[in-house]
């Protein structure tokens, strides 16, 4: 059965927050219904694996409930929850990374001569006005085709609105690496999308 988002139990976000601080199950359900879908989508984009994303979602709920007393309301509840989700996803990726050989340094050391600049032809009149479910799925699938080093930078910078500095700090890389990876990610996504729009 599809989720019915119902915030009517709580007059506004402030009331919902108070309910969460009191540990009310209605508030928890409300938070769950309202924010879990976006938190899961966000986690999936970052970690790139449905099982891992589910783990991130579950841990993010625990962290949110642990920290809700400390939340001062300087941002919206949504922004706060999405930041917790991002942090949880990045923490999980760091743990994985410590266990495997990383190619990130190699990705940043490629010279301009090695940049593949042969963009796919873009259709003349792409029908982009309606972002339907199929196109949304294509956009998500293209993201998952990016190498992790490019995907993380693109998601943080373009989708979550991190600044270059915040992205660099979150990923433990330099500012120039953020820019190089972002530009590469944009080009790769544009080419993947061009293939889809041309029906290939």
Partner 1 sequence: MHSQAEQFQLYELLNALLDDELSPEARAQLEVHLCECESCRSFFESLRQTLELYHRLDEHNPALPHAVEERLRRFIKQKQICKS
Interaction between residue 190 and partner 1 (CB under 8 A): yes
Q: Which is nearer to partner 1, 8 or 25 (CB)?
A: 25
| Shortest distance in whole angstroms from residue 82 CB to partner 1 | 10
Q: Which is nearer to partner 1, 102 or 122 (CB)?
A: 122
Q: Phi and psi for 7 in degrees, rounded to 5?
A: -100, 5
Q: Which is nearer to partner 1, 103 or 122 (CB)?
A: 122
Which of these ranges, 69-77, 102-110, 133-141, 144-152, lies near partner 1 under the rule CB under 8 A? 133-141
> By C-alpha distance, which of 35, 43, 103 is closest to 68?
35
Question: How far apart are the C-alpha atoms of 56 and 35, rounded to whole Å?
Answer: 14
Q: Phi and psi for 64 in degrees, rounded to 5?
A: -60, -45
C-alpha distance from residue 11 to each of 7, 14, 35, 71 (Å): 7, 8, 17, 19
Question: How far apart are the C-alpha atoms of 170 and 100, rounded to whole Å?
Answer: 19
H-type helices in the chain, by residue range? 13-21, 25-47, 50-67, 77-98, 104-109, 133-145, 148-154, 164-171, 175-197
Binders of partner 1 among residues 45 to 64 (CB under 8 A) are: 50, 54, 57-58, 61-62
Residue where the block lists tokens 């400390």 = 70
Interaction between residue 131 and partner 1 (CB under 8 A): yes
Locate 166 and state its tokens. 């915040």
Q: Which is nearer to partner 1, 81 or 182 (CB)?
A: 182
Which of these ranges, 69-77, 87-95, 110-118, 145-153, lies near partner 1 under the rule CB under 8 A? 110-118
| Shortest distance in whole angstroms from residue 101 CB to partner 1 | 29
Q: Give the orientation angle of helix 77-98 with respect to helix 50-67, to 10 degrees.
A: 130
Which of these ranges, 90-98, 102-110, 112-120, 168-176, lies near partner 1 under the rule CB under 8 A? 112-120
Q: Which is nearer to partner 1, 90 or 185 (CB)?
A: 185
Binding site for partner 1 (CB under 8 A): 2-3, 5, 22-25, 27-29, 32, 36-38, 40-41, 50, 54, 57-58, 61-62, 65, 112-113, 115, 117, 119, 122, 126, 128, 131, 135-136, 139-140, 158-159, 179, 182-183, 186-187, 189-190, 193-194
């Amino acid at each position: 059965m599809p989720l019915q988002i119902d915030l009517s139990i709580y007059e506004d976000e402030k009331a919902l927050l108070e309910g969460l601080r009191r540990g009310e199950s209605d508030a928890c359900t409300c938070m769950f219904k309202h924010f879990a879908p976006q938190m899961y989508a966000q986690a999936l984009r970052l970690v790139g694996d449905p099982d891992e994303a589910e783990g991130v979602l579950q841990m993010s709920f625990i962290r949110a409930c642990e920290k809700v007393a400390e939340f001062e309301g300087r941002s919206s509840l949504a922004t706060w929850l999405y930041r917790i989700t991002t942090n949880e996803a990045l923490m999980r990726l760091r743990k994985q990374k410590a266990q495997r050989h990383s190619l990130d340094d190699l990705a940043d050391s490629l010279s301009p001569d090695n940049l593949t600049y042969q963009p796919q032809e873009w259709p003349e009149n792409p029908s982009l006005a309606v972002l339907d479910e199929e196109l949304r799925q294509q956009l998500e699938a293209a993201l998952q085709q990016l190498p992790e080093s490019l995907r993380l930078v693109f998601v943080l910078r373009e989708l979550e609105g991190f600044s270059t500095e915040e992205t660099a700090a979150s990923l433990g890389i330099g500012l120039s690496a953020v820019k190089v990876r972002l530009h590469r990610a944009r080009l790769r996504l544009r080419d993947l999308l061009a293939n889809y729009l041309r029906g290939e």
